[in-house]
Structures are given as C-alpha cells and as structure tokens.
Structure 1
C-alpha cells in the first residue's frame, strides 16, 4: 500500500484538526513516543494497529458500539445517568477516543495505569435501570458486553468501509483485544467472531427499545464532533454506524434502512475511510507509537 503525501501546508492543517480531537481540558497528555522501546499491550504487527489508525472507521465503529450498548437497559442507564453524554458529548467522546488510543498504542505501563484508573471510576457507578434491575458498571456480564460491542464496531467498520479483512484477520483482531479486556475485568469477552455471535444470541432477548437511542443519534448529528474539514461527513458516518448495527438489534431498537446510508452515500463513506487509511498523521498516536518502537512514522500506512 502506498501512503498519501499531502502538500506541507495542507498536511499541517490536517494534523492540527485531527490532533484537536484528542486534546481537551481535563484530558491527560500522553506521549506515545515514550518510553523508547517499550511495547504496547498489542504488538505493532497486529491487525488492531492497522484498524485503530483509521479515524473514519473508529468514528463509525464507536457510534455503532454505543447503539448496541444503549440497547441493554442496565448499560443504557449507566451511560445516560452517569456521564455527560446528554449535556456535553464532545469531551466524553474525546476521553473515550483517547482511552482507545492508549489501550492499543501506548506503552504497556501507561495503558495499565490508565485502565486501572478507569476501573476505579467504574467501581463507583451503580443504579437502577428502567426495567427495575439494579446494575453496577463492574458487573461481569455488562463489562463483557461493552467490550464486545467496541470490538465488533471497530473491526466491522474497518472491514466494511476501509479495507476488507480476511476471516482469519478478523478473528485475530478479536483475539488481540483479550489482554486489555482482561485488565478491564471483561474476562468473558469474546475472542473470535463465533464467540461474538454466541454472545449476541444470548444477549438479544435482554435488549429493549428506548427513545434514548434516537436521542443519542440526534446528539451525534448536532454536536461539533469532527474537525471543520470533515464536518460535512459527520451525518453520513452516523448513518454508516446504523448500517453496522446487527439486524436483530436494529429491529429491537426501531432502526430501519431509512436511518442508514442511501445507496449513493456508501461509496462516499468508503472513499473517505480508504483515504484515511493511507494518510499518515505524524503527530497522531499510531505514528508516535511507531517511533517509540524504532519504526518509521508512516510504517503502518505502507502495510
């Protein structure tokens, strides 16, 4: 694969716009290029390192994951009642995006420290869902579901819109999420597509409809989440996430084909995702992590 080379002035604009998504008040500053030589939780030659470098696929996959999470009443209550999603979605999404980057690309010691902090915060999240069941954010079944929905969203968004993955590559990507999943406490999270399907089949009877799903999608359309250069794509990426929702879940929550991409819109999203897959962002976590390991900054974009 050949990396895209932009004129220097345009490259700087793109770098600044992309970098802004992981910078916000209250977010820690992570230097992904340090400590020199320290490996990440996942190896640089992994499928995951290829997937997570693509911001378009990550946006689509992240939205699809939240749709799946909001279909589970206890997770829905935890997200809606204990986060700032409704009132100020951008910082919450930036924190989630940074956490994903740290989990995949940061030095192992940094990733372990961040995950330990997340676990401490989750331990304080409890409540009652709208179906009357009590919940705790560190409940094993819920941890496994959240972990699985994230893996499904990111892997399938990349496969469908950026670059097709073989069956073996998709299973590898599922398995690669295992070390981080166990650190988060999701010890029963699926490690293959077959295990994901089994989990989905088991969870589907527990999923319910809620207007919160549609409120979430409307918030995602209205919030200034993407940099100015990419803002016109935002509504299309949300529709792409709807298309990624498994049909059995879409039926339960009330999503229909009209909420997804029109036939003429799909090629636009694919073109954007494929371009993003070949455009090195020198200051972004994937490039900085490559430098930490003694690899060229654009190494991932040439594979």
Structure 2
C-alpha cells in the first residue's frame, strides 16, 4: 500500500503543477468565476451537453493547438492581420490577448444563456466598433465587416476541429462534423458574420474560394515569429515550440509554405507530430475535465465524460 501511495503522490503533484501553469497562462491569474458556468440550473446555454461543440471544446490539447493554428491561418488575410497588428497589444502582453480570446470561446460554449449572450454583445457592441483603419496596402478594414467575421470564425472552428481529431480524441462521424459547423455558426451569426458555412463540405469550398484573398504580410510573419518564440524561460519556450509545431501540422498544406514555418515534411511527420501527440496526451491527463467543463455539466445535473 505504501508503494502505491508513494507512486501516486508524485503523479498528483505533477498533475496539479500542469493544471496550475496551463490554467494561469490560458485563463489568467484571477478567479475562474465558476458561477458563470454552474448557474442557473438546467440552462443549456447556446449548445448544451448533447452538442458536438461541448465535446470538441472540452478537449484541452485540441483547443490549445487548434487555437494556435487558427491564429496562423487567420493571419493570412491581410485585412484581418492589419486589425490585429494595429489594434492588439499582443507584443506587449500576449498572454492578456490569449486570456480574452479564451474567455470569449469558453463563455459562449459553456456559459449559461445570459453569460453567452453577454459575451457576444460585449464583443459585437463594445469591442469591434473601435477596430478599424487602413491596411498597409491602402484598403480600409473594419472588425464589423461580415466578410472578415466569417473568415475569422471559419479559420477558428476548422482548426479547433482538426486539433480535436488529430491529437488523440475519438474521431467524429461525417454527420457529427457537419453538426459541429452548424452549431458553431449560430454565435458567429450573432456576432455579425454572414453566409457562414455549416458543413464540412461547405467549409472546404469556402477555404478554396478564399485563397485568392490570402497572402502573407510582414505583420503576419512578425506575429507568428513572436508567438513561436514566446516564453519567460527556456522550458516555456520549448513547450511553446512543441505546441506551435503541432499546430502547424493542423494547417492546410497550402497555408504552411507562405507562413515560412521552416519545417520539412519529414520533420513534421517524424518529430513534430509525435511530440505534439505526447504533449496532447499529457494535457488531456492533467487538464480534463476542466473546472469550467465540470461546472457546466453540473449545471445540467450531469457529470462530465470520463477522462480519455
């Protein structure tokens, strides 16, 4: 019995350490305010526990690496990147921008209806109206542009789903993939997006049709380099590099070359993917179910699915 205890105590300590470090980076150092997710009882929010969205967005490695991938893919649109470059504080405080993005996704996914609607209204009515300007190529841009809102949304959910399926979670059926895109289209429309693709086939066609609008800019190269080298110490920078290389593997083939990620096919297959999969298993072991996910299921009188 003593051998069992001594063997499990270090594991618990490691798991607690990973939870603390990842949570403080992703959510910030403040309180998670779990009442936003545990109340009111019986309120499914925008999706509910039977949704594919809850399943996909509860997956820690898929969301983390999928999130990095979506930032890279979004940066290929010059107008979307101009908005980030001219209005974001990611160079001075990249973690704060990450915290805001995560808070929005988590609130709209797992929050009750009032919490989700308030998060959408805050971004739509108080944040986006102030993000506009002139891109380096002379074209005007606005975060309220339905065309750009659709681009940002599709880049995001396409990469979230790719991360979920690539790094060890049970794959979805074709019908479930379509349902995921159909479910997540709703908050995008409430934010102002239009003509949002709602199936895997529609998303693939949309990305094909968008390619003539996409090109690399100096701001995108600078932003991606900044993220790839982020970290307060060598350990954090190494972890970031593993996650970013895993994220790069989620991108469409046509998106990797212009982003100048500098990874050969052999390196991606033999080094990046195994390391990212190992990191994914570690994150899933340490982080799932998250306190937020557990609170959301508890709001519905349920316990979250077992850790995979």
Q: TM-score higher than 0.5 here? A: yes
The counterpart of 1:234, out of the listed 219, 234, 240, is: 240
* Higher mean C-alpha deviation, range 63-72 or range 266-275: 266-275
How far has the Cα of 1:26 moved from its partner?
8.6
Query: Are the structure 2 counterparts of residues 30 and 151 from structure 1 closer, same or farther at C-alpha, using a change threshold of 3 Å?
Result: same
The counterpart of 1:112, out of the listed 108, 117, 140, is: 117
Q: Distance in 2 between matches of 1:78 and 1:224?
A: 24
Match of 1:85 in 2: 90
Query: Are the structure 2 counterparts of residues 225 and 70 from structure 1 closer, same or farther at C-alpha, using a change threshold of 3 Å?
Result: farther
Q: Distance in 2 between matches of 1:239 and 1:287?
A: 30
How far has the Cα of 1:256 moved from its partner?
5.1
How far has the Cα of 1:268 moved from its partner?
2.5
* Residue 20 (str. 1) matches residue 24 (str. 2): yes
Q: Distance in 2 between matches of 1:101 and 1:231?
A: 25
How far has the Cα of 1:206 moved from its partner?
0.8
Q: Distance in 2 between matches of 1:231 and 1:77?
A: 26
Question: RMSD value over aligned CA atoms?
Answer: 2.8
How far has the Cα of 1:288 moved from its partner?
1.3
How far has the Cα of 1:270 moved from its partner?
1.4
How far has the Cα of 1:102 moved from its partner?
0.8
How far has the Cα of 1:247 moved from its partner?
1.9
Task: Give the TM-score of the pair, scaled to structure 1.
Answer: 0.87
- Give structure 1 stretches of 5+ with no counterpart: none
Do 2:27 and 2:102's aligned partners in 1 also have CA atoms closer than 8 Å? no
Query: Are the structure 2 counterparts of residues 196 and 225 from structure 1 closer, same or farther at C-alpha, using a change threshold of 3 Å?
Result: farther
Match of 1:221 in 2: 228
Match of 1:99 in 2: 104
Query: Are the structure 2 counterparts of residues 195 and 257 from structure 1 closer, same or farther at C-alpha, using a change threshold of 3 Å?
Result: same
Residue 264 of structure 1 aligns to a residue in which SS?
Answer: helix
User: Deviations along 1:254-277, whole A, 9 cap, x unmatched?
Assistant: 445439735133122113324434
* Residue 147 (str. 1) matches residue 129 (str. 2): no
Residue 37 of structure 1 aligns to a residue in which SS?
Answer: coil
User: Deviations along 1:156-185, whole A, 9 cap, x unmatched?
Assistant: 111112323332222221112022112111
Query: Are the structure 2 counterparts of residues 116 and 28 from structure 1 closer, same or farther at C-alpha, using a change threshold of 3 Å?
Result: farther
Do 2:82 and 2:219's aligned partners in 1 also have CA atoms closer than 8 Å? no
Match of 2:204 in 1: 197
* Residue 245 (str. 1) matches residue 251 (str. 2): yes
The counterpart of 2:55, out of the listed 30, 50, 55, is: 50
Q: How many residues align?
A: 296
Q: Distance in 1 between matches of 2:72 and 2:174?
A: 24
User: Deviations along 1:216-258, whole A, 9 cap, x unmatched?
Assistant: 22222332389x7x76432111012222221223344444543
Match of 2:134 in 1: 128
How far has the Cα of 1:140 moved from its partner?
0.8
- Structure number with the higher helix fraction is 2
Task: Give the TM-score of the pair, scaled to structure 2.
Answer: 0.85
